[in-house]
Structure 1
Amino acid sequence: MMARIDKVELIHFEFVVPGLGPDRDGTLGYNPDAQSSLKSFVLRIHDADGSVGEYCPMHSGKHPAVTNQTIPLLKSLVGRDSLAREGLYQDYKRRHRHLAGTGYSAIDICLWDLFGKKTGMPIAALLGGYRWELPTYASTISGDHNGGLSSPEHYAEFAVQCLELGYRGFKMHCWADGDPKPEIATIAAVARAVGGKMELMTDPASHIATYADALRIGRACDDHEYYWLEDPLADCGQAPHVHRLLKQHLRTPLLLTEHVRGLEAKTPWITEMATDFLRADPEYDLGITGVMKTAALAEAFGMDVELHSCGPAHRHCMAAIRNSNFYELGLVHPKMGNPLPPIFACSYSDDLEAVGANGCVPVPTGPGLGVTLDEEFLAHAELSRQSFV
């Protein structure tokens, strides 16, 4: 059985995020006097039988490098079998081996959406359907100096707000200057406010310059019983050795491999005992196919895999993974919206208020990804369109 791809479309669009602008160090974050124009794309894959799969990347789509890695692959999809996802995964992984295969990620997700629509089934069910409600933590955007998340007390107040909304966990992205002192103060302030009532995590986002400072932050996490410490060091999560050392001196579990692409590259982090949790993301790790391989790898070693970021594809993956604890709803802030494309015409949302009273978000149950794109928005926001036949 073959389902021939006869057309591929890429629609580039732009959207505006009020309140998003550069902080004094250049990092994008809350700035009440600013707004930012971000770009993303919608990918559509058409089968000869008239079926169409589509996907709009969430946070990853605003990075031009992701778009530019995807475009060169699209023409070669025409004539291929849309049902042969494993073969396509292996082929494009090799073709883009110098770029870690990131550009194939949106394509794989789109192919899964196409398959789900052909079968009339949600992707989560096709993957195994382990659960349909996902325990969720609030994941903040980076700290600012503009009166938003500008102090440890602001983070503590926001954690209380998230607890009252129903979130089961709270993760901080603090400031980008690499100073451990405000990071440690924030770890303590948030724990005083909500410790014991929700799980707490912190992600210095690779801003900590030295092992000594990372150790200090980790020991603060130990003192306040944090659930995990994520990507602390300025190696950008690429060096297993130093994280194995860090892990040996801390009680708080480490979460690494967000920036390590692909199944094989993540494996040494397990065998060298350099992390407690694996990270995976369908928008960076070769799609849904790649994430499910990583989940199986982690399961074989008795470890958990935590999915990075949010979106319909992330929900479907987590819904079919036993060994995963939390859905990351980010990047949230008390004074601005999540800087995601406003692309959905259905009830799907990753806004701050999307969490239910039970601390979970639902998995879409419609065919494929189970979401409907807003064609009216797309018509107004479109910048250009490319077609490959």
Structure 2
Amino acid sequence: MKITEIRLHRMSLPLDPPFLAAWDPHPRRSFAATLVEVRTDEGVTGYGSGDTMTGFEEYEHLFLGTDPLRMLEQVRRLETVTFHGGRYWPLEAALWDIVGKTAGLPVSVLFGGARDRLPVYASSGELKSPGDRAESVLAARERGFRAVKIRIARDRLAEGIAAVRATREAVGDGFDLMVDLNQMWRMAGDVEPALSLATVHRVAAELRDLGVLWLEEPLPQTDVRGAQRVRAQTGIQVAGGEMVRSLPEMIALVEADAFDVYQPDVVLAVGMLRARQVAESAQLRHRRFTPHTWSNGLGLLANLHVAAGVDAGPYLEYPFDPPGWTPERRDFFLEPVQIAADGTLPVPSAPGLGAVIDWSAVEHYAD
């Protein structure tokens, strides 16, 4: 089998009202997505999405005429390109879609087949007042979620902690809460200093007392010793690694025992095959793996297949914070990926990734 064509369908969904992402100082008035379509000489077509694939056209020729089933070779090729260009891991997802369709199996089975569904947590994206956040979490619980992650901004710590406290009082002790400080990476142009270790230590202690399951990315990536101190001195679990750009960097964090939970996104960070290696390395050390999934529904599915294959947990991230962020907005060019009533996300049983593309939406929102 040979790759004969790679098509990039670039789209943009207008957001009105805008999405006020907690990690972005600017309101998001549109949502860009790129659908990667890989065609082969045997009529099997694969689809992937996640990163925007900006600049990929310069490297497309490296993949045309190659065998899409030789995945290790393809991953190594992508890694050489990533050094010079962007994060083109959606192409790997499209290739795994082809592999699964050729084998007649869901991709999760090829990654180990440990689970056919995973419990998910609702991952909030906006900053809300304590009362509004508590109400939103109660609504999420009614929808079936067993856990929610709350964002706290580095310049609004008191309000963020108050939101966690109000939420804990509203839902009681039988519901898991996580907190994300978003300090490991920055949006382009954001040069404000990170929180000090002393401040993070104080915040972590308060969140521990509120029964927070884990504190996510509280410090810059380079402050491994700081993350270790926060864990050791407060007892709270620390998670991180969602945007670490290479396998060697990620494995170095695992070997340093930087976190309790490792979270590389398979379509934004290290890819699907390498994420499995990270998961296995973490699990061998009695640590957890559960990926970041904030892109779109197809990126979510790619992460789901890897996570279900390797027995990730305790939850899978599910971006959800209505009305600003809904499955309909997130998955605007495919059939929305929805959770079941029991708060789990089933792995599609169809061969490949199981995405159902809405081609009318792809055409309508073409950019």
- Whether the 8 Å CA contact 2:49–2:91 is kept in 1: the answer is no
Structure 2: state its 5+ residue gaps. Answer: 184-192, 295-299
Deviation (angstroms), 1:191: 1.3
Q: Does 1:9 align with 2:7?
A: yes
From 84, 87, 97, give the equivalent of 2:83. 97
Q: 2:230 aligns with which of 241, 246, 251?
A: 246
Write the deviation string for residues 262-304 of structure 1: whole angstroms up to 9, x where unpaired. 3221223233232111112111233211211111111222211
Q: 1:287 to 1:184 in 2, by over 3 A?
A: same
Question: 1:9 deviation in Å?
Answer: 1.1
Tell me, yes or no, if the aligned pair for 1:20 and 1:28 is still in contact at 8 Å. Answer: no
Distance in 2 separating the partners of 1:314 and 1:264: 20
- Counterpart in 2 of 1:146? none
Assess if the C-alpha contact under 8 Å between 1:136 and 1:327 holds in 2. yes
The amino acid of 1:27's aligned partner reads: P
Shift of 1:79: 1.2
Residue 166 (structure 1) aligns with: 144
On the 8 A contact 2:125/2:325 being kept in 1, the answer is no
**Which digits, 9 at most, give the CA deviation of each residue in 1:323-377, with x for residues without a partner?**
4221111142346535424111x4x42xxxx332211111111111112111111
SS of 2:30's partner is strand
Structure-to-structure mapping, 1:1-389, within 5 angstroms: 3-21=1-19, 27-28=25-26, 36-57=29-50, 60-61=51-52, 67-97=53-83, 103-143=87-127, 149=128, 151-175=129-153, 177-206=154-183, 209-233=195-219, 235=220, 237-309=221-293, 311-334=300-323, 337-338=326-327, 339-344=329-334, 346=335, 348-349=336-337, 354-383=338-367
TM-score with structure 1 length normalisation?
Answer: 0.84
1:77-129 Cα distance to aligned partner (Å, 9 max, x none):
00111111101212321343356xx5231111010001112222211122221
Distance 1:54 1:181, change over 3 A: same
Aligned residues: 352
Cα drift, residue 4 of structure 1: 1.3
* Residues 76, 172 of structure 1: alpha-carbon distance in 2 compared, 3 angstrom cutoff: same
8 Å Cα contact 2:125-2:320 kept in structure 1: yes
For residue 134 of structure 1, what is the amino acid of its counterpart?
Answer: L
Runs of 4+ in 1 over 6 A off after TM superposition: 23-26
- CA spacing shift, 1:25–1:123, aligned 2, 3 Å: closer
Secondary structure in structure 1 of the residue aligned to 2:15: strand
1:64 alignment counterpart:
none
- The runs of 5 or more residues in structure 1 that have no matched partner are 30-34, 62-66, 144-148, 384-389
Percent of matched pairs sharing the same residue:
22
Mapped to 1, the partners of 2:36 and 2:234 lie a distance apart of 44
Give the direction of change, closer, same or farther, for the CA distance of 1:315–1:323 in structure 2 (3 Å limit): closer
Q: Deviations over 1:121-172 (max 9, x none)?
A: 21112222111121011111121xxxxx2x1111111111111111110100
Change (3 A) 1:49 1:282: same
CA contact (8 A) 2:18 2:30 kept: no
